[in-house]
Amino acid sequence: MVNEQSDLYSRILQARNINSEELSQSLEDLPDEALFANIDALEARIHKAIFANEPLLIFGHDDPDGITSTYILYHYLNSCGYQRHSYYIPNRNIESHGIQERFIRFAVEGGYKLVITVDNGISAFAGVEALNANGIDVIITDHHLVQPELIPNAHSILNPQLADCRYPFKSLAGVGVVLMLIRYLAKQWEHPIERASYFWAAVGSIADKVPMQGLNRLIVRHVIDHFEEVQDHTVQFLLRNYNRVSSPSDVFNFLSYVSRLIANGREEGGNHTALRFILQLSNAKAQLFEDLEKQKNQWENELNRVFAFLETLATDFVGKTFVYFDDDDVIPYSLLGTASTFIVNRLSIPTIMLKQHNGLTVCEGRCGDGFNMVDAFSHCKEHLTQFGGHAKAAGFTMQPGSYDAFLECFNEYLSQNFSPPETAGGLAFDTTASLAELTPENWQMIEALLPWGQQNPEPVLKIEGLKQANMGSFSLDAASLSLPREQAVDCLVNWRAPAQLRIIKKLS
């Protein structure tokens, strides 16, 4: 617990306008889940499925948010003794986002009577119709933006973004929504959820880059502060293959590591590697872990290659928007969104990346403040076969022949709805600091501000007069810019570890 405030710590609090009340919230401060619209109807339908012993299928989304959502719901139903539930996670390299033909066939042939979508489904209008036509009820849980004019005809929908939803916090990840659902079921059924559910909710929330404030912060911080309590067999397995985890930043780094590890299991349906790894109790767990580690390393190499390529595209780029069609197949389909994010971080302009995939043109769009990707795609929907996402991260598919018409429509929308933020040039930092202030005591105080994420980024300090010769015991991390040996420069830095800095910009 933080009792006295250091100067550096309180300057950062002040710069960010953080009230210390928010920093001390705990699980007891979570709002009543009954405030969610339709949650009683969801509970009744799932209850009926369990008592009638109906085959039930959880339909996840192929990313860490969707995987952790699937896991905590699947596992909660397990813990209730239910045995007729299963899960299906589509392979994003084979199927596009949402309820598609392969899944519908799987659900029908498997004789399922109830499908629960997690971290997706809110734009699956046609998919829900098709399942209904086959006598399958659908419950949707999702956190994406709603197209209010086209809500699927589901049995019931849990989504904080619904117009009539009174749950006060709107920015939960998909797994945050599922966590609130199982917390509600736990109260109704008087059967507690496992404490590790918070660990997996934290992993999915970090991976989905939701704003790290409010309830998202509360969930991740709970895991940081109660790490011993939230460990299940998978966490313990992973810890045997990981460095020591003792400080709050160790826990945060471990959570980020796990979110990257489970991002790569790409097998389809009930065979998804990452989910099988989490569920596995036997020796096979080690084999699956090796698979995942290998995939993660390959993926990180691939990522570095793509980033180097994007760096060449971004250098000296001038323009109001960045549109890139990956004709030459430099960017793998699975990295298209990551690539768009990279460009937005570099250039701060709306970015769309497109490529051919399975006979269709797919697109991932990203932007910062001052623009809304979903609105832009919605404006151009006559050219698209499917679209969805958030204001700052959205995607679509279209027929290849529609490209020119779409681009004209998109550019027209952009010219009327985006003006570049005026802060260009002035890179923001939290406060000026001196090397002498970077003490172990201050490091510990700043750890109280973890977890980092959107709306709560890692602090940026301005340090004046840095040069190699006066760094003392401090080292620079691998991603740092280098320092001149003799001539002192003013720098913006991240304080990465008690004795480690990352120079992110040289100012003089």
Q: Which residues bind Mn ion (CB under 5 A)?
A: 65, 119, 174, 208
Q: Which two tokens stand for residue 116?
A: 């629960």
Q: Which is nearer to Mn ion, 65 or 326 (CB)?
A: 65
Burial label, 23 (beta-carbon count in 10 A; 0-12, 13-18, 19+): middle
Q: Which is nearer to Mn ion, 43 or 119 (CB)?
A: 119
Q: Helix (H, G, I), strand (E, B), or coil: what is residue 356?
A: strand
Q: Which is nearer to Mn ion, 159 or 249 (CB)?
A: 159
Least separation, in Å, of the C-beta of 454 and Mn ion?
13
Least separation, in Å, of the C-beta of 201 and Mn ion?
12
Q: Which two tokens stand for residue 415?
A: 């010219």
**Interatomic CA distance for residues 219 and 202, integer angstroms:** 6
Least separation, in Å, of the C-beta of 272 and Mn ion?
16
Peptide bond into 451 cis (omega under 30): yes
Residue 471 and residue 446 in contact, taking contact as beta carbons nearer than 8 Å = no
Least separation, in Å, of the C-beta of 65 and Mn ion?
4
Q: Which is nearer to Mn ion, 127 or 176 (CB)?
A: 176
Least separation, in Å, of the C-beta of 208 and Mn ion?
4
Q: Which two tokens stand for residue 282?
A: 């036997």
In 11-159, the DSSP E strands lie at 56-59, 85-88, 114-117, 137-141, 156-158
Least separation, in Å, of the C-beta of 275 and Mn ion?
15
Residue written as token pair 């301005």: 462
Work out the end-to-end distance of the chain between its first and last CA atoms, rounded to an integer number of angstroms.
Answer: 38
Least separation, in Å, of the C-beta of 175 and Mn ion?
8
Q: Helix (H, G, I), strand (E, B), or coil: what is residue 184?
A: helix
For 234-264, b/e burial (b = at least 16 CB within 10 A) is bbebbeeeeeebebbbbbbbbbbbbbbbbbb
Q: Which is nearer to Mn ion, 67 or 278 (CB)?
A: 67
Least separation, in Å, of the C-beta of 215 and Mn ion?
15
Q: Which two tokens stand for residue 379?
A: 């404006």
Q: Which is nearer to Mn ion, 43 or 65 (CB)?
A: 65
What is the number of the residue whose Cβ is closest to Mn ion? 65
Burial label, 423 (beta-carbon count in 10 A; 0-12, 13-18, 19+): exposed
Q: Which is nearer to Mn ion, 59 or 324 (CB)?
A: 59
Q: Which is nearer to Mn ion, 9 or 36 (CB)?
A: 36
Q: How much helix, strand and coil, in percent to the nearest 5, is found in the chain?
A: 45, 15, 40
